[in-house]
Amino acid sequence: MRGTAHRFLNRRVAARRIGVTPPVLNALAATLLAVPAALFVANPPAAAQQATVVFVGDVMLDEVAGEEIARGRDPLLPFAALLGAADLAVGNLECPVSTGGHAVDKVYTFQANPRVMPIVARHLGAVTLANNHSGDQGPGALVQTMDRLRSAGIPFFGAGRDLAQAHAPLILERGGLRIALLGYLEFKPRSFEAGPSSPGVAWSEDEQVVADIRAARALGADVVIPVVHWGWEKEPDPCPRQRELARRMIDAGADAVVGGHPHVTQGAETYKGRPILYSLGNFVFGGFPPGPCRTGWMLRLVLDRQGVVRWDTVVARIDERGVPHPDPDATSPCGARTEEGVKSCREGQGR
């Protein structure tokens, strides 16, 4: 961990050449020296230097999903084989996992019982906290969530005890690759944003996002993937702002862009040969009537040092208890570095 920070400090000159400002460098250096070593999780490098990383959308473990867990059931079990087959599985934890606190003034607020944490640890190797529900029970509950994740050995990104930690990349080593994950919120309330000395989530200010991506490269990341909570709820297509920011992130060096929040899938496209998944939709989330909000995608990326080799999606059909089930007969977006644009594939076609 300390060695990582020192290598980062030695890269300051190179970082300035790519436009990373000294204040950002200083903040990241201080963060790397201060954050727990659990943020840096290394696996022995594989000879092939390829890794498979899967992403899922909103994992909301309050309400009906939380009731399932209280009864001893595992709402992620139908996807266990697919999640477990990857080198890394990443999800959006759409609720604080805490006790106490006070619900903030907004239409929907969530809070999952700490009993859900073993389920998260069983299936997900990392989570983003950059969403519009992490702060539902106040900053103290968010800090408690982060502490519980650390205790469970689950790395997280997109939030922190201060602004620098919230914007710091989570760098995980899989298959001999250093994979940097960044998380951002771009949907109200902005009051959830971290401050210089206060806990919260990372907000997606464009210039800061660009600087964060470049800083992750300066830290030696082979692959950089931002995960963004954005867009309008229940809209089937991304808005112009999502398209603009996605392209800007790829121009800054992102290898793929993964989105969520609208509660529906929003399609996929490629830009400069790199995939953009605008919304993966819901994954574990109850309370929605039959329709588009009960369909999500699991995104699967095969990575090497040049970025995404190939990618595909697996359709999740969510039942009335908020439990996702793979639909092997459904077609969904897929693509490859050697192919132009986005195609439609079915799970098990040997993409």
Q: What residue has token string 């998260």?
A: 120
Give residue 216's domain range.
41-346
Residue of 253, 249, 185 whose CA lies nearest to 223: 253
Question: CA–CA separation, 141 vs 25, rounded Å?
Answer: 29
DSSP 192-210: GB-BTTB-EEPB--HHHHH
Residue 22 lies in a domain: no
Task: Provide the number of structural domains found in the chain.
Answer: 1
- CATH code for position 202: 3.60.21.10
- pTM for the model stands at 0.86
Tell me the pLDDT tens digit for each residue of 261-306.
Answer: 999 999 999 999 999 999 999 999 999 999 999 999 999 999 999 9
Average pLDDT (307-332) is 97
Residue 185 lies in a domain: yes
Residue 272 lies in a domain: yes
Tell me the pLDDT tens digit for each residue of 221-254.
Answer: 999 999 999 999 889 999 999 999 999 999 999 9
Q: How far is CA 175 from the centre of its chain?
A: 19
Residue 300 lies in a domain: yes
Does the N-terminal peptide bond of residue 238 adopt cis geometry, omega within 30 degrees of 0? no
**pLDDT tops 70 at residue 47:** no
Residue 172 lies in a domain: yes
pLDDT-derived band at 33 (thresholds 50, 70, 90) equals: very low
Residue 20 lies in a domain: no
pLDDT recorded at residue 101? 92
Residue 9 lies in a domain: no
Average pLDDT (73-97) is 98
Residue 54 lies in a domain: yes
